[in-house]
Amino acid sequence: MATFLGINFFALFGQLLIGLINGSFYALLSLGLAIIFGLLRIINFAQGAMYMLGAFVALLGFKYMGMNYWVALLVVPIIVGLIGILIQRFLIRPIVNEDHLYSLLLTFGLALMIQGIFTHWFGSSGQSYPVPEALKGGMRLPFMYLPNYRAWIIVVSVLVCFSTWWMIEKTKLGVYLRAGTENPQLLQAFGINVPLIVTLTFGFGVGLAGFAGVMAAPVYSVSPDMGSNILIIVFAIVVIGGMGSIGGAILTGLGMGIVEGLTKYFYPEASATVIFLVMVIVLMIKPSGLFGKNA
């Protein structure tokens, strides 16, 4: 029963699984971008570099300090987030009143620098990070073999995405955030420290990328250009979803991962380009994005 109507279910589900995993990372990264965009109105081009940084900090911590995966999962996002806070506070804040294109160029420059530094230190070849002991092995499902770590990625990413969505839509902190998006001056007049919220939000969005980096280290090879490769795809996803809604960013990320997985099975030649093609179609039909508000 492995094939039905000429479809090999083992291969199909295998590609779907890979698609879902890629989608988890797309969702985490585009969520971070959307949160930062919501409050700061800028796109962080260094989001990919921060993802790469997360993976590298986890790898180096493991190699030189014996830091295990679970500690890394907790500590690395905080380290990366703190770096983000420093970047926002000392580099982005001074140009906050200039055209937002300048902050895009600034973060692009930072991404080039960070990627250049890591290439200089570690070369451009990939390094591997071991799968944690507790998540080794896998489960045999009716149609496929599911490695535990891959299941873990999907579950945790969905959980993190959902709790972030819940925090922004349902809590007091989230209310401040959304108010800051609508009208920062008014929120400040109510005695809320808006610049602090802005800085922390940037740190959180970047921290999400660092978190994704740690999650990715055991499945993808850790290399200096892992960030720039995924970031351009995430940009296309952001254009497809529109950055109007947090939930939209998550759903589009996961959905595009699945689309990519399906393409890999049915027409592998187009798997590298399919997300960009979807973007073209969305631009033709609904330019503001699937979840975007018409500006």
Site of interaction with another protein (CB under 8 A): 37, 42-43, 91, 94-95, 98, 100-106, 108-117, 119-120, 228, 232-233, 235-236, 238-239, 269, 272-273, 276-277, 279-280, 283-284, 287
Instruction: Quote the least distance from Cβ 27 to another protein, whole Å.
Output: 17
Instruction: Return the number of the residue (12 or 240) whose C-beta is nearest another protein.
Output: 240
Phi, psi (5° rounding) for residue 127?
-120, 155
Alpha helices in the chain (DSSP H): 9-40, 47-65, 69-87, 100-122, 148-170, 172-182, 184-189, 194-216, 226-241, 246-266, 274-285
Instruction: Return the number of the residue (133 or 269) whose C-beta is nearest another protein.
Output: 269
Instruction: Quote the least distance from Cβ 261 to another protein, whole Å.
Output: 17
Which pair of structure tokens corresponds to residue 253?
């990320």
Residues 263, 165 contacting (CB under 8 angstroms): no
Instruction: Quote the least distance from Cβ 233 to another protein, whole Å.
Output: 8
Q: 30 forms bridges with which residues in the sheet?
A: none
Q: 222 forms bridges with which residues in the sheet?
A: 127
Instruction: Quote the least distance from Cβ 105 to another protein, whole Å.
Output: 5
Phi, psi (5° rounding) for residue 118?
-70, -35
If we measure between CA atoms, which residue out of 263, 10, 32, 19 comes closest to residue 168?
Answer: 32
The residue type at 7? I
Instruction: Return the number of the residue (131 or 278) whose C-beta is nearest another protein.
Output: 278
Instruction: Quote the least distance from Cβ 162 to another protein, whole Å.
Output: 26
Instruction: Return the number of the residue (160 or 231) whose C-beta is nearest another protein.
Output: 231
Which pair of structure tokens corresponds to residue 157?
């990413």
Instruction: Quote the least distance from Cβ 21 to another protein, whole Å.
Output: 21
Residues 21, 153 contacting (CB under 8 angstroms): yes
Instruction: Return the number of the residue (126 or 287) whose C-beta is nearest another protein.
Output: 287
Instruction: Return the number of the residue (176 or 202) whose C-beta is nearest another protein.
Output: 202
